Amino acid sequence: MKPIEPRDEARESFRQEADASWTAYQHSGRHLTGDEVSAWLKSWGDDDAKPVPDCHD
């Protein structure tokens, strides 16, 4: 049997997390928009970094 490569493990972990996120969204409808996430990420490292945005319906 071929050993699992670290990249394969990372890919599978990412896939599982994405599946869990999709399932949670389908049940709750709560989400963030791409613009909300982008604005938050752009503030990283600034003295006035924004807090993590709250999910909404």
Q: Which of 18, 22, 44 is nearest to 52 (CA)?
A: 44
What is the three-class DSSP state of 56? strand
Read off the pLDDT band of 19 (50, 70, 90): very high
pTM greater than 0.75 (yes/no)? no
Which pLDDT band holds residue 1 (cuts at 50, 70, 90)?
low
DSSP 43: T
Predicted confidence band of residue 5 (pLDDT cuts 50, 70, 90): confident
Q: Which residues of 6-42 are buried (b: 16+ CB within 10 A; e: fewer)?
A: eeeeeeeeeeeeeeeeeeeeeeeeeeeeeeeeeeeee
pLDDT value at 41 more than 70:
yes
